[in-house]
């Protein structure tokens, strides 16, 4: 359980960072007129990225989270260390003593089952199997390779990213009883970006005066 909790804490930092940016990306995807805006003013500094930058960021995030390296901190390693029900029981028994509140454990056992099922589904994700080819193409700065790279749509990559963050979210619930953190973080960023995007014409008009 300690190894699982430690891995979760490390993955949580990465997922928190990317979930915030994922919200920005989702808001930008709704706009057909992709544009770069670097506003150096104090009133609304922003960098809105285009389609290729969004795709590259998602490819690199998912490649990092699903790496097969032996010593890397990934969701694969997290899944290999999934705690038993007895481990979960001991962990929360100690936690209940620490916080002075008793609560039922069935929900954590159910979360464990959902975690195992979600990881099994993630392993079968077709976009997951394309990551190595997509990453190699991306790191080559889009230079056309001799062999045709695997293809994945932006929606494919967004769905894979959501599946990865959902898995880490389930791990967080097993360890800390918290759930929905990445969804909420992404949602806040999405709303902020929509508001900023809508305000850009007004900001530009004000600064031109």
pLDDT (tens digit per residue) in 164-194: 999 999 999 999 999 899 989 888 888 887 7
For the chain, helix, strand, coil in percent to 5 are 70, 0, 30
pLDDT digits (tens, 9 = 90+) for 130-142: 888 888 777 666 5
Domains in the chain, number: 1
pLDDT at residue 44 tops 80: no
Q: Note the pLDDT of residue 150.
A: 72
Q: Is 200 exposed, middle or buried (0-12, 13-18, 19+ CB in 10 A)?
A: middle
Q: What is the mean pLDDT of residues 21-27?
A: 75
Q: What gap in Å lies between CA 100 and CA 184, rounded to an integer?
A: 28
Q: What gap in Å lies between CA 150 and CA 143, rounded to an integer?
A: 14
**For helices 126-139 and 154-176, angle between their N-to-C axes, nearest 10 degrees:** 110
Cα distances (Å, whole numbers) of residue 19 to 52, 77, 119: 18, 20, 19
Q: Note the pLDDT of residue 47.
A: 45
Q: What is the mean pLDDT of residues 83-111?
A: 94
- Percentage of the chain surpassing pLDDT 70? 77
Q: Note the pLDDT of residue 50.
A: 52
pLDDT at residue 125 tops 60: yes
**DSSP result, 58-73:** HHHHHHHHT---TTS-
Q: What gap in Å lies between CA 78 and CA 150, rounded to an integer?
A: 27
Kind and range of the H or E run holding 121: helix 106-123
Q: Which domain holds residue 43?
A: 2-208
Q: Note the pLDDT of residue 201.
A: 66
pLDDT at residue 60 tops 70: yes
Enter the pTM of the model.
0.79
Res. 45 pLDDT band, cuts 50 70 90: very low
């Amino acid at each position: 359980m300690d190894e699982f909790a430690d891995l979760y804490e490390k993955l949580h930092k990465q997922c928190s960072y990317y979930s915030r940016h994922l919200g920005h990306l989702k808001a930008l995807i709704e706009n057909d007129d992709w544009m770069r805006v670097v506003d150096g003013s104090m009133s609304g500094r922003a960098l809105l990225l285009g389609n290729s930058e969004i795709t590259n960021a998602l490819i690199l995030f998912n490649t990092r989270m699903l790496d097969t390296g032996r010593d890397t901190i990934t969701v694969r390693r997290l899944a290999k260390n999934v705690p038993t029900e007895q481990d979960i029981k001991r962990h929360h028994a100690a936690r209940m003593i620490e916080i002075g509140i008793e609560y039922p454990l069935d929900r954590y056992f159910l979360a464990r089952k959902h975690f195992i099922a979600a990881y099994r589904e993630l392993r079968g994700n077709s976009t997951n199997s394309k990551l190595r080819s997509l990453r190699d193409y991306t790191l080559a700065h889009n230079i056309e390779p001799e062999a045709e790279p695997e293809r994945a749509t932006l929606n494919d990559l967004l769905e894979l990213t959501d599946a990865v963050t959902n898995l880490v979210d389930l791990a967080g619930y097993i360890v800390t009883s918290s759930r929905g953190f990445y969804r909420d973080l992404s949602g806040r960023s999405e709303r902020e970006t929509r508001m900023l995007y809508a305000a850009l014409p007004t900001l530009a008009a004000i600064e031109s005066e």
